[in-house]
Amino acid sequence: MYTAVSALPGDGGHMSFSQVRTISTYFLVVCSASLLIRSTEASLPTPVQITNLGGVSGPLSVSPVGEKLLVKGSSNMLILSLAGTPLDTVGSQSGSYDWTQDGTRFVAGDGGFIAVVDPQINIFEPFPGPAVNNGISWSPLGNGAVYQDSDLGLMFFSYPSGSVAAIPCSDPDATGCEGEWPSFSGDGAWIAFEDGTQILRVSAGGGTAETVVDLPGDVTTPAYSPDGHWIAFSRTVVGGENNLWVCDAQGTQFGLVQLTEGTYRDLFPDWSPDSRDIYFISDRSGPFEVWKVTFDGSVPALPMTWGRIKARFQ
> What are 95-127's pLDDT values in tens digits?
999 999 999 999 999 988 999 999 998 899 999
pTM score: 0.83
- Spatial distance between the Cα atoms of 16 and 102, rounded to a whole number of angstroms: 49
pLDDT of 164-218, one tens digit each? 999 999 999 888 899 999 999 999 999 999 999 999 999 999 999 999 999 999 9
Q: Which helix (H) or strand (E) holds 307?
A: helix 306-313
Q: Which domains does the chain have, with CATH numbers?
A: 2-40+306-313 (no CATH), 48-295 (2.120.10.30)
For the chain, which ranges sit under pLDDT 50? 1-41, 300, 302-314
CA atoms within 13 A on the CB side of 135: 26
The three-state (H, E, C) secondary structure of 185-196, written as one string: CCCCCEEEEEEC
pLDDT for residue 91: 80
